[in-house]
Amino acid sequence: MKYYRNADPFFGFDPIFNDLFDTWNNSSNRIPPVDVYETDKAYVIEAEVAGYDQDKITLHVDKHILTLSCNVEEKKDDKKSVIVREIYTPSFERSFSLPDGVDEDKIAADYKNGILTITIPKTPKAEPRRIDVKIN
């Protein structure tokens, strides 16, 4: 399984340089981290989406590409003046190329304790079968 990362322009720099491009209210890593693993019956993606509103998280499958996204509208509160903002949940989008042999219609997702678990079931492998030939 491959995934495509919509990264910032500084992706690929050594981590030692990350602090050079950070601001107090903006994180250089704008994409939730994921774990991807395979079992006998499915591929599983676990995405860390703590702080995101479950109702705003969307999954979409099109042409063997699974897209996980969240569109966050920035809320402004005129009654408070932010001094430090370290809790930052920006909009994001991540795409994963699905391998052959998965059942896209049965993809399921579960959200618990800030972790979104996406289960992508495998289709049963076609077993070779013998075809009897009838002779007239």
Neighbours of 20 (CB within 10 A): 9
For 2-74+86-121, which CATH class?
A: mainly beta
CA dihedral of residues 126, 45, 96, 58 (deg, nearest 10): 110
Burial class, 27, CB count within 10 angstroms (exposed 0-12 / middle 13-18 / buried 19+): middle
> Do residues 117 and 54 make contact, with C-beta atoms less than 8 angstroms apart?
no
Q: Encoding tokens for residue 20? A: 């050079």
- Of residues 79 and 99, more confidence is placed in 99
Lowest-confidence region among 36-40, 96-100, 124-128: 124-128
More confident residue, 129 or 120: 120
Residue ranges of domains in the chain: 2-74+86-121
Region 123-132: mean pLDDT is 80
Q: Give the pLDDT band of residue 19 (cuts 50, 70, 90).
A: very low
CA angle 55, 60, 64 (to 5 degrees): 160
- What is the secondary structure of 113-129 as a DSSP string? TTEEEEEEEBPPPPPP-
